[in-house]
């Protein structure tokens, strides 16, 4: 029997016991016309005593009321015994519940152990895959090293024949562009000519003034114009 089935059966048995106990308590609370409770018997006896009138003997009335209380206490004892029986049944079912709970805990522990084992197996598989990848990488590195060694051991390829030198490029043709003087250039040339003429006249005036000054120095006091 699995832990789940044991817990389900325990729950069903506890539900049945609780239902029985509730039904018994409800039956004891409801007024029974055949076996009335203590309060109902006491009320009935009191009504009978009052209906007999003032000439009734007090001792007989008190005896009747006490007898009614005694029967009610007996009925109450029966209901108390039923409740005690229900409590005893519940106490007897408690060890079974504890055993079912222990079985469920054991099953949970077994499931946890299985999960741990599965995790360990997955970790081992991952480690094996990593080792295989490392081995493949090492093999690839070895193959690359072998290819490099083979390439180094192979003789170099023959050199290609040198291409003939290219012929020299022809010299560029010199193009002389004759530009006619424009109107502005002509105007500037005229201005320059005028300035040259003025400079020439100024030099002539300066030279004439120098000659006049030299003649003036000769005719006047030589101490004043000492050379």
Decide if 146 is inside a domain: no
Average pLDDT, the chain: 71
* Per-residue pLDDT at 56 exceeds 50: no
Tell me which of 77, 110, 140 is where a domain ends: 140
Q: Burial of 104 by CB count in 10 Å (0-12 exposed, 13-18 middle, 19+ buried)?
A: middle
Which whole number is the average pLDDT over 101-120? 79
Predicted local distance difference test score (pLDDT) of residue 113? 82
* Per-residue pLDDT at 123 exceeds 80: yes
Residue-wise pLDDT tens digits, 32-55: 454 555 555 555 655 554 555 444
Same domain, 24 and 134: yes
Task: Give me the long-range contacts of 87-94 (CB less than 8 A, separation at least 24).
Answer: 89/17, 90/14, 90/17, 90/21, 93/10, 93/13, 93/14, 93/17
Decide if 149 is inside a domain: no
Decide if 160 is inside a domain: no
Q: pLDDT confidence of 73, banded at 50, 70, 90?
A: very low
Same domain, 127 and 190: no
Same domain, 193 and 136: no
- Residue with structure tokens 């193959």? 143
* Per-residue pLDDT at 222 exceeds 80: no
Number of structural domains found in the chain: 2
Q: Look up the domain containing 49 and give its range.
A: 3-140
Residues in the chain: 227
In the Cβ-directed half-sphere of 63, how many Cα atoms lie within 13 Å? 5
Helices 58-153 and 38-51, interaxial angle, to 10°? Answer: 160
Same domain, 105 and 24: yes
Decide if 66 is inside a domain: yes
The least confident of 46-55, 152-161, 181-190, 194-203 is: 46-55
Predicted local distance difference test score (pLDDT) of residue 54? 47
Q: pLDDT confidence of 93, banded at 50, 70, 90?
A: low
Same domain, 216 and 130: no
Tell me which of 76, 109, 140 is where a domain ends: 140
Tell me which of 109, 140, 171 is where a domain ends: 140
* Per-residue pLDDT at 105 exceeds 50: yes
Same domain, 115 and 22: yes
d(CA 133, CA 120): 20
Same domain, 106 and 209: no
Same domain, 22 and 130: yes
Same domain, 111 and 219: no
Query: Is there a contact between 46 and 65 (Cβ–Cβ < 8 Å)?
Result: yes
* Per-residue pLDDT at 69 exceeds 60: no
Which whole number is the average pLDDT over 113-136? 86
Decide if 127 is inside a domain: yes
* Per-residue pLDDT at 200 exceeds 90: yes
Decide if 166 is inside a domain: no
pTM for the whole structure: 0.29
DSSP state letters, 110-149: HHHHHHHHHHHHHHHHHHHHHHHHHHHHHHHHHHHHHHHH
Decide if 164 is inside a domain: no
Same domain, 8 and 114: yes
Of 193 and 119, the structure prediction assigns the larger pLDDT to: 193
**85: helix, coil or strand?**
helix
Of 90 and 51, the structure prediction assigns the larger pLDDT to: 90
Decide if 10 is inside a domain: yes
Percent of the chain clearing pLDDT 90 (strictly above)? 9
d(CA 210, CA 119): 126
Of 157 and 73, the structure prediction assigns the larger pLDDT to: 157
**65: helix, coil or strand?**
helix
């Amino acid at each position: 029997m699995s832990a789940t089935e044991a817990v389900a059966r325990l729950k069903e048995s506890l539900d049945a016991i609780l239902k029985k106990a509730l039904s018994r308590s409800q039956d004891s609370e409801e007024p029974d016309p055949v076996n009335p409770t203590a309060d109902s018997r006491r009320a009935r006896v009191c009504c009978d005593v009052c209906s007999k009138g003032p000439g009734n003997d007090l001792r007989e009335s008190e005896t009747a009321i006490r007898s009614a209380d005694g029967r009610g206490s007996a009925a109450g004892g029966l209901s108390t015994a039923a409740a005690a029986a229900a409590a005893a049944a519940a106490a007897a079912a408690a060890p079974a519940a504890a055993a079912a709970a222990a079985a469920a805990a054991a099953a949970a522990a077994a499931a946890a152990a299985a999960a741990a084992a599965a995790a360990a197996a997955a970790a081992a598989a991952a480690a094996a895959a990593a080792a295989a990848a490392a081995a493949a990488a090492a093999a690839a590195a070895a193959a690359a090293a072998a290819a490099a060694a083979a390439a180094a051991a192979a003789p170099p390829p023959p050199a290609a024949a040198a291409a003939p030198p290219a012929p020299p490029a022809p010299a560029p043709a010199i193009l002389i562009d004759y530009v006619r003087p424009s109107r502005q250039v002509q105007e500037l040339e005229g201005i320059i000519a005028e300035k040259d003429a003025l400079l020439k006249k100024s030099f002539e005036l300066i030279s004439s003034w120098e000659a006049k000054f030299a003649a003036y120095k000769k005719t006047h006091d030589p101490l004043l114009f000492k050379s």
